[in-house]
Every structure is written in C-alpha cells, then in structure tokens.
Amino acid sequence: MKAEFDYVIAGAGSAGCVLARRLSDAGHQVLLLEVGPSDQSWIIRMPAGLRSAFKPTSKYNWWYYTEAQKHLDNRQIQQPRGRVLGGSSSINGMTWLRGHPLDYDGWQAAGASGWSWADCAPYFKKIESSAIGGSHRGDQGPIRAQRQEHLSPLNAAFLQAGQQAGFTLTDDVNGYCQEGVSRFEMSVRDGIRNSAAYGYLHALGEHPNLTIWLGCEVQQINLEGRQATGFRVTRQNRVIEVRARRESIVSCGVFGSAQLLMLSGIGPADHLREHGIATKVDLPGVGENLQDHLECHIQIETKEPVSLNKELQPHRMLWAGMQWFGFKKGVAAVNQCHVGAFLNSSPGTPHPDIQFHFFPVFFDKHWIPLSTTYGYRIGVGPMRPTSRGNVRLRSAKVSDPLRIDPNYMASEEDWRVMREAMRLGIAFSEQAAFKRYNYREDTPGKHIRSGKALDAFIREDAASAYHPCGTCKMGSDDDPMAVLDSQLRVRGIQGLRVIDASVFPNVPSANINAATIMLAEKASDLVLGRPALQPEALPYHSQLTSGAAHKASA
C-alpha cells in the first residue's frame, strides 16, 4: 500500500506532537506515526497515576535497560521511555523546568548557531502558560505550568532546611534565578497531565489536515539516492510506503531516532557493516554523545503520618479516586515533586550543577510507595555530567533492543560532583527543620558519610533521572561528530530532519521535557521557513554575573 502527505513525522512524542500541530495549522497535510497506543487512559491522564506506567508489563513504556555499567557495580540501569501518544511527556513526573540560560549559550558555543538563550527564550515563553507572571514567563501557551502553593509539612520543611543550610529561597527557578531552593512547577492543567499530546493535540481540538496512525511501526527511512522520500511502516499487519512530498521528520527520541537512522544506512559505516547494513551516508556521530542525569537517594523514615504514603490506605485511595474522577481535584490531581533545589558544587561553578528532587514519599528500591511506612526522599545528582556514552544496534531488526551504554560515572569530575551532591543532601536532612520528622535514615545510613563507604553506596544506589539525550547532536560544519546542522537537517541527506531530545549538543541543567517541547516549537518555524521569533536577551543570575555564596553547613 502507498500513502502520501506533505510532511510525515515518525514518532508522536514530546516533539512530534508539537510539530504535527504547527505544521498542520500552517495548512499542510501531515501524518503523525506512533507505535504505541492512545493516551486516553486514566493511567496517563491522572497525575498521581504515573507509577502505573512504570511497570515492566506496561504497554505505555519501552522499559529499556542499559548495558552493564562498569562504574556502577556492573548493574543494568533502567531507562523507561514513553511508548504512547505524547511519548515520555505522557509518563514522566511532570516536573516543569527549563534549565539555565547558560545551557543554551553553551549549545551555541558548541556549534548550534541560532540556539542561544536569547534565541530560545521567546519559545520557552510561547509554549507555556504559567501563573507566576513576569517578563521571563509565558501565560498563553499549550502547556500549563503550575505550582502547588499549599505545601505539606515535609515539603515546607525541605524549603526551610535549605535556608537553614545557607541557601537562598528563589521565587522562580524558571525565571531570573535558578540557584537556591524553590517550589517546582508541574505540567498539569485542571487536574489532568498536560503532556505534549494533551496540550498540542487534544486541548486544541482535531485538525482536518492532521492524520494520526497509532500502533504503527516505522521500519526504515526511504531514500532515493541522497533524497529522503518518506518511511516504510507496518500497520495492522500491512506494509505501507508513506511518501512525504516536502520533508520526512524523525522524532523517535534519544534511542529510537539513532536506531532508525542506522537501520536506514545513516551512521558509522564500520558499525553498519557489522550488521550487514549498506551505508548510505557515513555519519560517525549517530548514536554517540549519549548523556543522562544520574541521581542517588537519601531516604528518611518518619513515624508521623505526614508523607503521601498514608494516601495508599484503602479508604483514602477510594476518596482520592472519587475526587479525581468526579471533579479532577484532590491528591490524585497533582504530581509528587513540588519542591527542590539547584546548587553549585564549588564556589567557581558558573551556574548550578547539582539538582535535588524532593519527594514527601517513602519508596521501596523500585520506586513503589509503601503503604505501611512514612518518610521522604531526596534525589541528588550532577546536572552537567562529563561522561559520554553511546547507543548501538544489536541487530538489523527494528524489533531487537538497542545496546544502550551511557557510560555513567566514567570521569573523576562526575564522582566529585556526586559526592558533593550527597554531602549537601545529607546536610539538608540534618537541619533543624527536619528534626521532628527524622526517625531512621534508610539510605545511605548514618554510618556512610565519606570515603570508600560513600563511593560504594553511589555505585550500588545510583539510577537514571530519566533525562537521556544527545545521540544525534546538532553542530557546526567542521564538527565531524555533528549529525545535524543547526537547522536540524541530517548531513548528506536532502529532505530529512531529526527533531527531538537526541539533537541536544549538551544536556540542560534540569529536567529536559520543557527543553524538548521548546526545541520542537522553534523547529516548526525552521521547517516552515518562517522567521524566528525576535530574540530576547532576558537577564539571568549566575556566578559569572554576581557573587552568590556557596554554603553548606551540616
């Protein structure tokens, strides 16, 4: 069978949904392809239902695993990714963070011309609808960013403990100042997860120019010489050749996009030959530059029933369900991470390189909340890891899992920052604000504070914060590892772009979903040949511009 559209987008994740809406709004016939199912289930829509998608049996999750990590006791690390309309924005923790302006200036310095902070700032404003206000924020965008203003006792204690440890309370980590302790925003609108699919597809209504095929597996990019013509897909047990009259766009995510390029003969020639794949374009950077945020966990048990674990009691779960299904209100209508921190690992750090996620929940080792134990967890880790990994094909079959090797903790710098992150996190937990709640230190344990014992704990406990990116990076013409130019066009191929988190030259210093949606919004103007939004050189705080103190008192 054959089909033809103006634009064909492979992957309906955070980026693909944005592109589908903007290109179809511009009057073009667009086909959006997604291998996963619809996102209409309550498991996806209910903010508190996110853990239901974090099961190996979930149909909404690819549930990848890394190769054995030699610096982490040879453990395989979980790499969940969304396999559903909306991609990972449909299963993530909904923490809405931009990163720091210097991250995007760093993209430009790395060869991504036109992607500086001033270039990206107006698109961050365009995508969001935040109640915070001010010159740094948007208030009319498809993604609602809201704070939990009424904090639980443990969340309030975290903010107070951070100040007692010597850090400032910042009003808006997505505004002028990222550094300090702060309330975090969540991508939730009216009690419903505000995924890219919800914000850009459902909330804006159906569009006659947009066709969405679910349960559709993309087999390869079709090429006529050096011209991309579309995709070969399987749908309902039929092979369909889908032709793109204008452009083919790959938005399959950090793992899927690199895989699809390599299966289509675009990638490192030596590796492709290993699997009998004819090389169409030798691009050694495909699959390289893999980066991710790693975090360790400080967990404290408390005897007081002040954590969210109490909500797992049957009668309270019933009440939470009634409130959400009936009115989209109550504890099920919000996520679980309402506060956190961005800190510097040393006085000379130009902008925060450590992030804390605070959860007023006591978890087992698989992130499953326990109904019989109360407590809280602080996830801590480096934001700008220097370790780099890669993804490689296991075979020439699209159905075979990739070999994912983030190469976690391969550098001494990453160890230095992780040790400091642990020290600061423990210092937070030992402040007076937490004294009444602290009954037992579950991890790392009172006997573990430094030296070999702390390093052993890091190797045993460290896990992904679920922010992998960078495997098809954009960059300058003289960078042999740049897969794309700054227009996100695949080098050596006409009519083909990659648009998703795989294109990031460097991981932003925060959760990456907002950056991915921003990138797709900006990329839609590139694809359509429209002038970019007027750059805004919004001011920001960093150690380069002011002398904020670095403090940590245990």
Going from the C-alpha of 363 to that of each of 12, 124, 283, 371, 446, the distances in angstroms are 31, 33, 43, 9, 18
Q: Name the residue with tokens 């996963």.
A: 36
**Whole-angstrom distance, CA of residue 516 vs CA of residue 259:** 19
Q: Residue 408: what residue type?
A: Y
**334: its two tokens:** 């919000």
315 noted as active-site residue = no
How far CA 194 is from CA of 46, 185, 189, in Å, comes to: 10, 12, 6
CA–CA distance, 408 with 411 (Å, rounded to integer)? 8
Tokens of 447: 């006997």
Which is it for the CA torsion 210, 211, 216, 222, positive or negative?
negative
**CA-based nearest residue to 378, from 396, 400, 403, 361:** 361
Strand partners, 218: 233
Handedness of CA 313, 340, 77, 298 (dihedral sign): negative
Give the residue among 149, 146, 122 at the shortest CA–CA distance from 136.
Answer: 122
| Residue 520, phi then psi, degrees to nearest 5 | -65, -40
CA distance 328 to 326: 6
CA-nearest of 172, 187, 84, 24 to 515 is: 187
- The burial class, CB within 10 Å (0-12 / 13-18 / 19+), for 553 is exposed
Residue 406 token pair:
């983030």
Closest CA to 34 of 260, 214, 197: 214
Instruction: Please report, for residues 200, 373, 388, 447, the alpha-carbon distance to residue 126 in angstroms, rounded to integers and kept in the order given.
Output: 12, 42, 32, 49
Q: Which of 28, 136, 467, 541 is the catalytic position?
A: 467
User: Which tokens go with 170?
Assistant: 């910042």
Alpha-carbon torsion angle 267, 272, 277, 281, nearest 10: 30
Name the residues annotated as catalytic.
Answer: 467
